[in-house]
Structure 1
Amino acid sequence: MTPAVAAAKRAKIPFQLHQYQHDPAADSFGEEAATVLGQDPQRVFKTLLAADEAGKLVVAVVPVAGKLDLKALAKACGAKKLSMADAVAAERATGYVVGGISPLGQKKRLPLVLDASAEQFDTLFVSAGRRGLEIELAPADLLKLTQGRLAAIGRG
């Protein structure tokens, strides 16, 4: 059981796990999950980390079908400027490997922003903490568990 699954169980929120055989040759972990699970790529979300000039990290959760708007994320966080976090820093802070970073059960509690498009779905899919494992839960439960907030941080 991953820390993400343990966090969801501890919080007693409804969720469903979806496991699939991860292909190491896959170009995009999120798009692979959407395709294999037969889900709309707008409903499967990827977890990205960004950093400000001082190296302070923030978690962004956006649909795999789009991209993260760093300016919008900076505005949502009250930061001047953000850039994508270094993979090593992301792994160290979350306790997960790139491609399996979950917004749940991270080693350090980091500020989290979920793209506002999540509100249109009863449930969404995010990584459950390893490649080939997704957790399906309500957007409100994800925000509750992570103490996150909604903002329009994704684009096209």
Structure 2
Amino acid sequence: MSDAALKEELAYLGIEWSILEHEAVFTVEESLAIHDALPGGHTKNLFLKDSGGQFWLVTVEHSKRVDLKALAGAIGAKKLSFGKAEDMTAHLGVTPGSVTPLGVRCDILNEVRVVLDEDLAAEDMVYVHPMRNTATIGLSGADLLRVLDYYKHEPLIAAIPERAPADPA
């Protein structure tokens, strides 16, 4: 999806947004300077597949250490593992490092279930990639839900279970 198409869709929906262009970032750690410059909820996206073959896109607050085993039970999935890059590209139109909930725009067969961290859904400002990892778009959590609905992907809003911190001993 081009930036122009995304901007047209956001305008059509009456959604206010901002964009920050930056160097390519591939990990949460690489994007920490961007987080400091833009107050609000920053995302981490997990493209997963369960043992039954269902694809999942889980969007959480960037600092959460997701417990995949507990997450499966929380969202009604079978055993979860990370999806393959080629499946990500086929379903979401992105490559690793550019994963975004906006990618469900490419999932016209609705084969990816979307899960959104309840904390992000309530944020005044949420930051996601616009289908590329060289920019960050900010919009409200409510507007992100509107976009997902427009793309015919009603997300499951969930409390995301976190792994316990590592024992320092």
TM score, norm. by length of structure 1: 0.81
Preserved contact between residue 33 and residue 132 of structure 1 (Cα < 8 Å): no
Aligned residue number for residue 130 of structure 2: 128
Residue 101 of structure 2: SS of its match in structure 1? coil
> Matched residues in 2 for 1:6 and 1:97: separation?
23
CA RMSD of aligned residues (A): 2.5
> Matched residues in 2 for 1:116 and 1:72: separation?
16
Residue identity opposite 1:68 in structure 2: V
Q: After superposing the two structures, state which structure 1 stretch, 91-100 or 119-128, moved more.
A: 119-128
Preserved contact between residue 42 and residue 63 of structure 1 (Cα < 8 Å): no
> Matched residues in 2 for 1:83 and 1:41: separation?
31
Preserved contact between residue 34 and residue 44 of structure 1 (Cα < 8 Å): no
> Matched residues in 2 for 1:58 and 1:41: separation?
27
Q: 2:10 aligns with which of 8, 23, 27?
A: 8
Aligned residue number for residue 151 of structure 2: none
Taking a change above 3 Å as real, the CA distance of residues 41 and 151 of structure 1, as seen in their structure-2 partners, is: farther
Residue 28 of structure 2: SS of its match in structure 1? helix
Preserved contact between residue 143 and residue 149 of structure 1 (Cα < 8 Å): no
- Alpha-carbon shift at residue 39 of structure 1 (Å): 4.6
- Alpha-carbon shift at residue 141 of structure 1 (Å): 1.7
> Matched residues in 1 for 2:161 and 2:9: separation?
26
Residue 24 of structure 2: SS of its match in structure 1? coil
Preserved contact between residue 47 and residue 60 of structure 1 (Cα < 8 Å): yes
Aligned residue number for residue 115 of structure 2: 113
Matched pairs, number = 152
Q: Provide Cα deviations, 1:13-45, integer angstroms capped at 9, x if missing partner.
A: 12111111226xxxx533323313525798210
TM score, norm. by length of structure 2: 0.75
Q: Percent identity?
A: 28
- Alpha-carbon shift at residue 155 of structure 1 (Å): 2.4
> Matched residues in 1 for 2:61 and 2:141: separation?
12
